[in-house]
């Protein structure tokens, strides 16, 4: 359509606030150089309890922020950038019988039946380092074949990875002057 040819989005706006469009950035040279603004360093280890013969596990997750230099920030941003709504979903092996977990910041919810923990950290900036420590008691004596994949969620308001921006707004057929409001959010997923 018109966007592919002219890079113009034409629409009739509804009354009130609305979302005009969403987009997903595919693999491109710019994305090849992009590194997520958060790092997660998981450490999983297992050992056999000499007394009971049961397998025990220890998990340490360290989370912090990286440089946000790869992002393009909106001119309306005031103050330093921070990564918001940070959360980590941690699925544990089904053979976990008991899990004791502690975090140095945020809140942690553990669903014993599903064997899934959700660690909600809130806002992270370069001054904060978060850590989760867990001790696990596992059923049997066989170590899990692989460590589970973690799911990391975050967003950075008024930032863009792609560089997509609104350069202008023209309104036809109306006598009033429009308010040009654009909100950029970069988020995981």
Domain ranges, residue 22: 2-187
Q: What is the mean pLDDT of each run of 10 residues along the chain (189 residues)?
A: 76 81 67 75 90 88 80 63 89 92 96 96 86 92 85 84 69 72 69
pLDDT, position 38: 86
pLDDT, position 112: 94
pLDDT, position 92: 93
Which residue is it, tokens 């009033």?
A: 176
pTM of this structure: 0.74
pLDDT, position 188: 72
pLDDT, position 34: 67
Domain count, the chain: 1
**Residue 5 in 3-state DSSP?**
helix
DSSP string, 37-59: SEEEEEEEEEEE-TTT--EEEEE
CB neighbour class for 56 (10 Å; exposed up to 12, middle 13-18, buried from 19) = middle
Contact present, 143 and 56 (Cβ < 8 Å) = no
For residue 58, count other CB atoms closer than 10 A to its CB: 13
pLDDT, position 73: 61
CATH number at 65 reads: 2.60.40.1170
């Amino acid at each position: 359509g018109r966007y592919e040819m002219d890079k113009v989005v034409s629409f009739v706006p509804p009354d009130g606030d609305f979302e005009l469009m969403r987009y997903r950035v595919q693999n491109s040279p710019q994305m090849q150089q992009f590194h997520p603004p958060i790092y997660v360093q998981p450490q999983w280890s297992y050992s056999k309890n000499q007394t009971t013969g049961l397998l025990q596990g220890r998990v340490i997750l360290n989370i912090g922020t990286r440089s946000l230099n790869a992002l393009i920030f909106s001119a309306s941003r005031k103050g330093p950038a921070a990564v918001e709504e940070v959360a980590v979903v941690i699925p544990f092996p089904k053979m976990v019988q008991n899990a004791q977990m502690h975090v140095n910041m945020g809140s942690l919810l553990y669903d014993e039946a599903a064997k899934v923990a959700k660690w909600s950290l809130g806002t992270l900036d370069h001054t904060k380092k978060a850590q989760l420590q867990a001790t696990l008691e596992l059923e049997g004596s066989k170590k899990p074949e692989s460590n589970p994949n973690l799911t990391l969620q975050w967003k950075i308001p008024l930032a863009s990875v792609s560089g997509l921006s609104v350069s202008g707004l023209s309104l036809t057929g109306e006598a009033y002057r429009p308010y040009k409001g654009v909100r950029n959010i970069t988020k995981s997923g």
